[in-house]
Amino acid sequence: MTKDILLSISGLHYDMTGIPDEPGAEEENGPIEVITPASYYYKNGKHYIVYDEVLEGMPGTIKTKIRITDSQMVEIMKSGLANTHMTFEKDKIHMTQYETPYGELLVGIHTRSLRLEESEDRIDVNIIYELDVNGEKVADCNIAMQVKSHGKTE
């Protein structure tokens, strides 16, 4: 893998609608996809991806670091306009504070599935998890990440 990479992250979540007739009914929201240049390095058996996020209508950025330990754990650390350290570990629940420009949330992440596929010039990660905020389940979520050496095509 080269130092300069292209990172694609797409996320999909199913909100809990709370319709009384249908407890637990879910409503799919449209997918969100970000494609951005990033930096990659491999150190002590872990993959690291670093990039800056820009929030529309807000000055400043969010520095994001993704650490992929193995097929069992992925961490996303954000600092700047938003601050958090989210841990995705198969079959475990991790709690974290998520600080945003609009306030702070207590977020719970229960990772149901974590899949990692690696090749010389590409890493694919797929995470399925349940998200709760301040103790209430708010969504079932899916994150798909694709890391490719810059300039490599399929």
* Rounded CA separation 76/102 (Å): 20
Per-residue pLDDT at 7 exceeds 60: yes
Topology of domain 4-149, CATH:
Lipocalin (2.40.128)
Per-residue confidence band for 24, with pLDDT thresholds at 50, 70 and 90? very low
Give the pLDDT score at 13: 75
Q: Is the model more confident about 54 or about 6?
A: 6
Domain boundaries, the chain: 4-149
pLDDT tens figures, 76-117: 999 998 999 999 999 999 999 999 888 999 999 999 999 999
Burial (CB count <10 Å: 0-12, 13-18, 19+), residue 7: buried
DSSP string, 87-134: EEETT-EEEEEEEETTEEEEEEEEEEEEEEEEETTEEEEEEEEEEEET
Per-residue confidence band for 47, with pLDDT thresholds at 50, 70 and 90? very high
